[in-house]
Amino acid sequence: MNQVTYAFPPAARPSAVIHGSGGHFPIHRIYCVGQNYADHAREMGSDPQREPPFFFSKPADAYLLADGTAAVPTAVAYPSRTTDLQHEIELVVALGRGGSNIAVANAATHVFGFAVGVDLTRRDLQKIAKDRGRPWDTSKGFDQSAPVSAIHPVQQTGWPERGAIWLKVNGELRQQGNTQAMIWNISEIIAELSTLYCLLPGDLIFTGTPSGVGPVQRGDLLQGAVEGIATVAFRIE
């Protein structure tokens, strides 16, 4: 058998923590849905009646474990080249089965579990990218841009089609919504995304954020949750 000889040791595969099992969830890709809540689409200056949600992605190694039950909150470095780092609290879907052209009716069978994450965004760079029609990579896909709680298996959480989603900064409520307000629901997101990519076990999907996104500063403590799923917490340093 041919063994690959690498020029240097390959980077470790990013993996997420699975709640209660001690096991790890090997991350394949991180997909994100943009403007999946009408109130957030409007606060970003879009018309949710005319523009459906859309996808972008983050590199797998943008993942950072930031579980809300940790004794000491995870530290997230304030990223370079921005003065407008913003929070977006999101329900995160973890896939345990892949596929292409997945039917909405079958999508639930592809779900391994759920987590809560924050889609950290360099809003100033995103605005420049939007104005000039450029890619979003530098505004969305930077290092440590995806702090996420432990993944809770669907057998434990049930199906979070409805549940409060909120985020506090230093104890002050900044975002508050309900997952039932998503424009594309969980099954529809999986089905739609699977027409664009061959999904694989290990894919994480950020499902969009409700309104109330805003800036954070060094020293801020961010805490968020989706009711019945998990809590996420971290400090910006």
In the bound complex, what is the minimum distance in angstroms from residue 210's beta carbon to Mn ion?
10
Decide whether 139 or 187 has the Cβ nearer to Mn ion.
Answer: 139
Decide whether 84 or 97 has the Cβ nearer to Mn ion.
Answer: 84
Give me the residue whose beta carbon is nearest to Mn ion: 119
86 CA to centre of own chain: 14
Residues in the chain, total: 237
Decide whether 119 or 203 has the Cβ nearer to Mn ion.
Answer: 119
Interacting residue ranges for Mn ion, rule: CB under 5 A: 88, 119, 209
Distance, in Å, from the CA atom of 96 to the CA atom of 225, rounded to the nearest integer, reads 22
Q: Tokens 């994480």 appear where?
A: 204
Decide whether 67 or 88 has the Cβ nearer to Mn ion.
Answer: 88
Q: Which two three-digit tokens encode residue 97?
A: 């089965």
Q: Which helix (H) or strand (E) holds 128?
A: helix 123-132
Decide whether 16 or 182 has the Cβ nearer to Mn ion.
Answer: 182
In the bound complex, what is the minimum distance in angstroms from residue 7's beta carbon to Mn ion?
36
In the bound complex, what is the minimum distance in angstroms from residue 188's beta carbon to Mn ion?
17
In the bound complex, what is the minimum distance in angstroms from residue 151's beta carbon to Mn ion?
18
Q: Edge-to-edge strand order for the sheet containing 164-169?
A: 74-76, 230-236, 221-226, 164-169, 172-178
| Cα-based distances in Å from 142 to 48, 120, 136 | 27, 9, 10
Distance, in Å, from the CA atom of 139 to the CA atom of 145, rounded to the nearest integer, reads 9
In the bound complex, what is the minimum distance in angstroms from residue 38's beta carbon to Mn ion?
14
